[in-house]
Amino acid sequence: MRAFHGRKADKAESSVAARQVVGRVLGIETSCDETGVAVYDADRGLLAHRLYSQIALHESFGGVVPELASRDHIRKLSPLVKEVLAAADSSPEDIDAVAYTQGPGLVGALMVGACFGRALAYGWGVPALGVHHMEGHLLAPMLETDRPEFPFIALLVSGGHTQLVRVDGVGQYKMLGESLDDAAGEAFDKAAKMLELGYPGGPKLAALAAQGRRDRFDFPRPMVNRPGLDFSFSGLKTYPLNTVAACREAGELSDQDKADIAAAFQDAVVSTLVIKCRRALQQEGLTRLVIAGGVSANTQLREALAAEMQKLRGRVYYPRPEFCTDNGAMIAYAGFCRLRAGIQDDLGIRVRPRWPMTELEGVA
Residues that bind Zn ion (CB under 5 A): 158, 326
Which stretch in 79-87, 140-148, 198-206, 344-352 sits in contact with ligand KG4 by CB under 6 A? 198-206
Under the binding rule (CB under 6 A), the answer on residue 298 touching ligand KG4 is yes
Tell how far CA 109 is from the center of its chain. Answer: 15
With binding defined as CB under 6 A, does residue 154 bind ligand KG4? no
Among Zn ion, ligand KG4, none, partner that 206 touches (CB below 5 to 8 angstroms by kind): ligand KG4
Question: β-pairing, 97-103 with 24-29?
Answer: parallel
Member of 66, 203, 220, 342 binding ligand KG4 (CB under 6 A):
203
Q: CB–CB of 361/111 below 8 Å?
A: no
> Which span sits near ligand KG4 by CB under 6 A: 1-9, 184-192, 210-218, 270-278?
184-192
272 contributes a contact to ligand KG4 by CB under 6 A: no
Q: Is 141 near ligand KG4 (CB under 6 A)? A: no
**Of 141, 63, 77, residue with least CA distance to 106:** 63
Contact 222, 232 (CB under 8 A): yes
CA dihedral 106, 107, 108, 110 (to 10 degrees): 80
Distance CA 48, CA 89 (A): 9
Q: At what angle do helices 201-209 and 184-194 cross, to 10 degrees?
A: 70
In the complex, least distance from residue 271 CB atom to Zn ion, rounded to whole angstroms: 23
**Considering the rule CB under 6 A, would residue 222 count as an interface residue with ligand KG4?**
no
Find the binding residues for ligand KG4 in span 309-338 (CB under 6 A): 325-326
User: CB under 6 A: which stretch of 4-12, 167-175, 293-301, 310-318 binds ligand KG4?
Assistant: 293-301
Contact status: 189 vs ligand KG4 (CB under 6 A):
yes
Strands 45-53 and 172-178, how do they pair? unpaired
Among 159, 212, 319, 335, binds ligand KG4 (CB under 6 A): 159
Contact 312, 284 (CB under 8 A): no
92 belongs to the binding site for ligand KG4 (CB under 6 A):
no
Residue from the set 201, 222, 314, 319 that interacts with ligand KG4 by CB under 6 A:
201
Interaction of residue 160 with ligand KG4, rule CB under 6 A:
yes
What residues contact 301, with CB distance under 8 A and at least 6 apart?
A: 157, 270, 273, 274, 291, 295
The per-residue b/e assignment along 86-104, b for 16 or more CB within 10 angstroms, e otherwise, is: eebebebeebbbbbbbbbb
**Using CB distances below 5 to 8 A depending on partner kind, what does residue 264 bind out of Zn ion, ligand KG4, none?**
none
Of the two residues 182 and 326, which places its CB atom closer to Zn ion in the complex?
A: 326
* Cα-based distances in Å from 31 to 19, 106, 151, 203, 352: 27, 6, 28, 19, 10
By a kind-dependent CB cut-off of 5 to 8 A, residue 153 interacts, out of Zn ion, ligand KG4, none, with none
Query: What are the residues binding ligand KG4 (CB under 6 A)?
Result: 32, 158-160, 185-186, 188-189, 200-203, 206, 293-295, 297-298, 325-326
